[in-house]
Structure 1
């Protein structure tokens, strides 16, 4: 039964049918073929979307778009340059730091590319970094937004898996920091070796001015994450705070957006969120088919034949996650893989949160790789670097990312420690 659904879905996807439609149609065909009640589709879709937590998705998307339009991104970049710009590989570190902070508000990797990409690439190339290297670093740092709370993918994945969204967001912080540090180490080594980056004179006055201008912008992730992890607000309420705060900063403090801009951004965010949540709805029907067909138990049995240790189980699953993430939308991939592989991982001794965050980290690689990486094509467009050349320049960064994935699989505390510290 499950194989019928997967085959029909693959066929429709190859015919370039939108993934949400392909997933829904393949579920309908499977239920009809095996004479199961089609009413289960509407029931499962209605149940999956009936969640207060999922209101956070359109709200965080809106907050990210307000940041992009309202000038917060440029000020965050200036503040990061004031703090780490004088280090070896300085502007590369600024690229990493600004993406980390921006991801702590928007939760969207594509928004990071669209907003910060032109600024970071222009700044790096003007200081002697090759354009392909600048574009490749910008490409990989954009994936930090998929790990750093409030990651939209983590919110959707945790809600789908029936896990605490707040705990899952906290779990993404450790891998996000690890990836940022690993990228900074590589950037330092390669910049020293090849002489990338012009040395700029330090100006206390300029640095203080940049930090002061950015205070309202960098205050957003502090307020959001402190409120959420302290238990004062839920993730959904934190998303509402993010929208309100960024709107005040962009509209009143910076005065770079008006009422018409807010209306336009709200409509745009609704459309984008609708596409994400539609995939969640139709994936619930596929989950019903997988459950009826006992696919999770079958997957568990297959994985146990390769050695049932948690590390080996995650490494095998990591290959699946990366391949699937390279071939399809990562939200759809997560929602299809969770009901199949999460029970198998738990049976092998993997913590549910460890599995979820590791899956998200693996799928995030697909955002930056061909053939369907949305961040890859966005970075190529912004940087004017041809896609094949950008992929070649990004190869060392892919290797850094793979090392980080192995570390996440091998050391569960990278995920679990922030959860224990931040969700007491």
Structure 2
């Protein structure tokens, strides 16, 4: 049954059928072929989105849209430049820091590229960085938004897996910080060796002015994440708080959006959230087929033969995650892989939250790689760097990502310590 579903899904995808539709059709056809009730599709779909937690998805997407249109992203970049712009590889560090902060509000890597991408690439090239290097660094830093809370993918994955969304979001903070630090180290080494960037003098007044101007924007992730991890608000309420706060700042402080703009942004956010939740709905039908076919147990047995230790099991799964993430939408990939491989990981002694965050970190690589990397093509578009040239420039950053993935697989504390501290 599972093989039939996967084969049909691949066939529909090759025929350029949208992934959500392809997965739904494959699930329905499989149930019909094996004489199983088609009513299971509607029942599974309705149950999968009957969750208060999933309201956070459209709300965080809307917050990201408001940030992009309301000038918050530019001010976040200016604040990061005031703080770390004078360090070796300065504007590269600004790129990393601003993407980290922006991701702490929007939860979307694509939103990071759309809003911060043109600013960071333009600023880096103006200070002597080659455009391919600037675009490649921007491409990889955008994936931070998929790891740091409030990552939309982590919210969807945790809800699908029946895990605490708050704990999962906290778990993503460890790999996010690790990736940012390793990127900063690499950027420093390369900038010094190749002479990238111009050395700027510190201007106290200009820095203070930039920080003061950006204060309302920079405070946003602090308020949202502090409220969520302190237990004052739930993740869903934190999403509502993110919308309310960013709207107040963009409309009343920066005065860059009005009521009509907000309505347009709400429509765009609704469409984006609808595509994510539709994938979640149809994936639930596929999960039913996998469960009936005992695919999780089969996968567990297979990985036991080739894996052995917890680390080797995760490394084998990591290869699967990266390859699948390169070939399909990462939300659909996560929702298909969780019911199959999470039980296998548990049988190998992997903590559920460690598995989820490691999976998200691996899938995030797919955002930056061909053939279907959403962030890859978005970065090529905003930078004007041809995709093949961008991929070549990003090869060292892919190696950096691989090092981070190995460390996350080897040391579960990277994921679990933030969970223990923050929840």
TM-score normalised to structure 1 length:
1.00
Does 2:354 align with 1:351? no
Unmatched tracts of structure 1, length 5 or more = none
1:334-381 CA distance string (max 9 Å, x none): 000000000000000000000000000000000000000000000000
The reply to whether residue 248 of structure 1 matches residue 251 of structure 2 is no
Alignment-derived partner of residue 384 in structure 1: 384
Counterpart CA distance in 2 for 1:304 and 1:63 is 43
Q: Indicate whether 1:136 and 2:100 are aligned.
A: no
Q: Please list, as runs of the form range in 1=range in 2, the aligned pairs for 1:87-126 lying within 5 A after superposition.
A: 87-126=87-126
Corresponding residue of 1:373: 373
Contact 2:58 2:270 in 1 (8 A): yes
Distance 1:13 1:399 in 2: 29
Once residues 309 and 220 of structure 1 are traced to their aligned partners in structure 2, the CA distance between those partners, rounded to angstroms, is 42
Between the two proteins, the alignment pairs up a number of residues equal to 423
1:153 corresponds to: 153
Q: Distance between the aligned counterparts of 1:273 and 1:46, measured in 2?
A: 16
| Counterpart residue number, 1:43 | 43
CA contact 2:144–2:176 (8 Å) conserved in 1 = yes
Q: How does 1:204-353 map to 2 (within 5 A)?
A: 204-353=204-353
Asked if 1 retains the 8 angstrom alpha-carbon contact of 2:64 and 2:106, the reply is yes
1:95-140 CA deviation, whole Å, 9 max, x = no partner? 0000000000000000000000000000000000000000000000
d(CA) in 1 for partners of 2:41, 2:218: 43
Q: Give the drift of 1:164.
A: 0.2
Aligned counterpart, 1:74: 74
Q: What's 1:189 paired with?
A: 189
Q: Measure the CA separation in 1 of the matches of 2:178 and 2:68.
A: 26
* Corresponding position of 1:176: 176
- Are the aligned partners of 2:307 and 2:316 in contact in 1 as well (CA < 8 Å)? no
What is the match of residue 410 of structure 2?
A: 410
Displacement of 1:308 in angstroms is 2.1
Cα RMSD of the aligned pairs, angstroms, is: 0.3
Structure 2: stretches of 5+ with no match in the other structure: none
Is the Cα contact below 8 Å between 2:79 and 2:210 reproduced in 1?
Answer: yes
- Report runs of 4+ in structure 1 exceeding 6 Å deviation: none
